[in-house]
Structure 1
Amino acid sequence: MLKKMAYVVLFTLLLTSVLTGSGYKRPGSTSAQFLKIGVSARAVAVGEAYTAVTQGADAFFYNPAALARIPSVDVFASYSSWFAGMNFQSLAVAKNFVRKGVGCLSFTSLQSDEMQVRTPLKPDGTGETFYVGNYRMGLSFARFLTNHAALGLGINYLHLKMWKYAVHSFSTDLGVLFITDYHGFRFGMSIVNFGPEIKFLKEQYAIPTNFSFGAAIEPIHTALHLMTLSFTTIKLTDAEQKVRVGAEYEYKRTFALRAGYKFGLDEEQWALGCGLKMNIAGFNLKMDYAFSSYGIIGYRNLLTLGLSF
């Protein structure tokens, strides 16, 4: 089993060297930008320093290996209004198949409202309408290879549509997670959105492949109080490497306060959030909220709901 884990780590490091060694590409040089949008309110609130923190169905979007930590069934849903009148939604459902691993299905969409078709000859509109829609449907599987190490793999179907034009593609995800017995210290690596270039009309662009490495520790862990500190370093194919840090405080495993910061960004830097957990008729309900600033662009409110049983 340890030999298998060693192969996984070596493969991950090799793939990482290929991705990070390809050099910096200018912003705007990739397609499917909706894949960069933060999905989970808990993750956004801690600055998306989340690679080693995630442990529910939202792990699908950050580190698929962490899905292995789900004990039974976990459901995740999120919604937020995006800039320019866009709407962003996500859904993930994960189930633990005893002794086999955890499977997860997910769906993400970014859609605009209906807009009028305008041409140089008819600047007030032709009477036709259109909308822009980006969609991702994914399937992931994760399992513990040892008591302390987990591996996750995923594949996604991508569909981008604008007016009467549409394009299809796919991407893959890979994640590993290591959990120690020292103050809940854990670290993980993930490569998400790894796939071929997308050709739309006459232009062809890569998708925003994301490599991340993160760690988390629990310096305070008692029956009443739980403090988690985390950091993640992220390398996107169209951006330089960035560092993100976050903190989460939980009281009685019921109420949480969170804060995070992203270094090296001009606009999107800090975020705050909170969370609430409750048990209703045997169902564990989770509600999370995040507020993140985008500087002169504005701010974002994100609400996510979770259910486990």
Structure 2
Amino acid sequence: MKSNKFLLTIVITLIFGINSFAQVGLNKLAQSTMNFMLVSVSPKASAMGEAFYAVGNSADAIFYNPAGIANTNNTFDVSLNFTQWIADINYLAGAAVYNMDSYGTLGIHVMTVDYGEIIGTTLIDPSQQSQYPDGYIETGPLSNVGAYSFGLTYAKKISPQFSIGGNIRIAGQNLGENHFFDGTGRKNNATKLVFDAGVLYNTGFKDFRFGMAIRNFSSQIKREEIDEQMPIVFAMGTAINLWKFIDESSNNQQLTLAADFMHYNNYSERVNVGIDYTFMNLISLRAGYQSNRDIASWSAGIGLQTEFAGNRIEVNYSYSYIKIFDNVNRLSVNFTL
């Protein structure tokens, strides 16, 4: 009873936070920093249009709703992910969880971002204006430019239906150094302590479940004289196994329909929808759509599962259509022990 009351308090707090933020957030578009944390790194999630907050129950749930890892059925679950993002930017992400049964589930994660080659510039002396009409001089490729995130996750089942979880992590971004005509310089590096929290509830009816999460909660970053917010996300997701309406007793096929409702502090609201059809736990076909996106829209993907030496191995791929830029490919390898 106490556990249920505790969970109810968390749910009410999250709902109140979403409503309060919606009232005071004055459409502050594109006014956040460290937005690399908003990029999906899981092909399973991306193939479903990132409608994953009520779906994820393996290691890569850490990057969406951390409460999901409490529902893993394996002792160890590991996920290695690669994302070929736009503009020659590449993401590498890995997560691992350890199921401690009644003591909960412990997880770790790391993510790195390679921004590719970035050319540095320096401002010119006013006397050089005729020689350099653009007002700057190129100084060559910058070193140590990129971003990263790593941290710990803990999740626990409060009851057979309820799960809660949270991340505590360090996020950082290195953007090189400014050089001025007087010879001085300033480094553009930032590091922050960041928190995520989530809840997940399975009603038991046709595997209908819903989840809520807040991501990237942190204090502001000060650059020059400007306070920049982290890209905070409030998400509410639902999912249901439609195959249960066809054959209640069958576990050989699943047809999961999911929808997530997203509220951002740096963009207007979005809705993500996705579907996943899994046959005999051997092959999964996925598709999804993201609304209210500038360059992204539909996506699709496939997953293949097999057993090797008593361990389960899963390979997932997703393709995301992107306007203007090159389309995005994601690949992951997951294995359980």
SS in 1 for 2:296: coil
The answer to whether residue 110 in structure 2 is matched with residue 83 in structure 1 is no
Corresponding residue to 1:140 among 138, 153, 158: 153
Q: In 2 relative to 1, CA 120–7 (structure 1 residues): closer, same or farther, beyond 3 Å?
A: closer
Normalised to the residue count of structure 2, the TM-score between the two structures is 0.87
CA shift for structure 1 position 114: 4.2
Corresponding residue to 2:143 among 124, 130, 141: 130
The answer to whether residue 283 in structure 2 is matched with residue 255 in structure 1 is yes
Q: Distance in 2 between matches of 1:243 and 1:179?
A: 21
Q: Is the 8 A contact 2:118 2:142 kept in 1?
A: yes
CA shift for structure 1 position 251: 1.0
Q: In 2 relative to 1, CA 14–26 (structure 1 residues): closer, same or farther, beyond 3 Å?
A: closer
Kindly provide the amino acid, as one letter, of the partner of residue 65 in structure 1: A
Q: In 2 relative to 1, CA 124–156 (structure 1 residues): closer, same or farther, beyond 3 Å?
A: same
Q: Matched residues, percent identical?
A: 28
Q: Distance in 1 between matches of 2:40 and 2:51?
A: 11
Please identify the structure whose Cα radius of gyration is greater: 2
Q: Distance in 2 between matches of 1:214 and 1:127?
A: 45
Q: Determine the structure 1 residue equivalent to 2:112.
A: 109
Q: Determine the structure 1 residue equivalent to 2:56.
A: 54
Q: Determine the structure 2 residue equivalent to 1:300.
A: 328
Q: Is the 8 A contact 1:80 1:301 kept in 2?
A: yes
The answer to whether residue 172 in structure 2 is matched with residue 159 in structure 1 is yes
Q: Distance in 1 between matches of 2:139 and 2:294?
A: 39
CA shift for structure 1 position 244: 1.0
Q: Determine the structure 1 residue equivalent to 2:194.
A: 171
Q: How does 1:15-26 map onto structure 2 within 5 Å?
A: 15-26=17-28
CA shift for structure 1 position 270: 0.4
Question: RMSD across aligned C-alpha pairs, in angstroms?
Answer: 1.8
The answer to whether residue 251 in structure 2 is matched with residue 240 in structure 1 is no
Runs of 5+ unmatched residues, structure 1: none
Q: Distance in 2 between matches of 1:158 and 1:8?
A: 25
The answer to whether residue 233 in structure 2 is matched with residue 205 in structure 1 is no
Q: How does 1:34-73 map onto structure 2 within 5 Å?
A: 34-71=36-73, 72-73=75-76
Q: Is the 8 A contact 2:117 2:141 kept in 1?
A: no
Q: Is the 8 A contact 2:172 2:191 kept in 1?
A: yes
CA shift for structure 1 position 7: 1.5
CA shift for structure 1 position 144: 0.5
Q: Distance in 1 between matches of 2:151 and 2:263?
A: 22
Which stretch has the larger CA shift, 43-52 or 109-118? 109-118
Kindly provide the amino acid, as one letter, of the partner of residue 262 in structure 1: Q
Q: In 2 relative to 1, CA 156–20 (structure 1 residues): closer, same or farther, beyond 3 Å?
A: farther
CA shift for structure 1 position 188: 0.6
Provide Cα deviations, 1:64-111, integer angstroms capped at 9, x if missing partner. Answer: 111101231111111122222221111111111121101111111112
Q: Distance in 2 between matches of 1:307 and 1:85?
A: 28
CA shift for structure 1 position 18: 2.6
Runs of 5+ unmatched residues, structure 2: 125-131, 178-186, 245-249
Provide Cα deviations, 1:32-85, integer angstroms capped at 9, x if missing partner. Answer: 010110111010000011110001011111101111012311111111222222
The answer to whether residue 190 in structure 2 is matched with residue 190 in structure 1 is no
Q: Distance in 2 between matches of 1:156 and 1:272?
A: 30
Kindly provide the amino acid, as one letter, of the partner of residue 177 in structure 1: L
SS in 2 for 1:85: coil
CA shift for structure 1 position 28: 1.9
Provide Cα deviations, 1:140-164, integer angstroms capped at 9, x if missing partner. Answer: 1000011100111111111111224
Q: Is the 8 A contact 1:117 1:130 kept in 2?
A: no
CA shift for structure 1 position 120: 5.3
Q: In 2 relative to 1, CA 214–201 (structure 1 residues): closer, same or farther, beyond 3 Å?
A: same
Q: Is the 8 A contact 1:115 1:131 kept in 2?
A: no
Normalised to the residue count of structure 1, the TM-score between the two structures is 0.94
Give the aligned length: 309
SS in 2 for 1:119: strand
Q: Distance in 1 between matches of 2:237 and 2:96?
A: 24
CA shift for structure 1 position 215: 0.5
Q: Is the 8 A contact 1:192 1:211 kept in 2?
A: yes
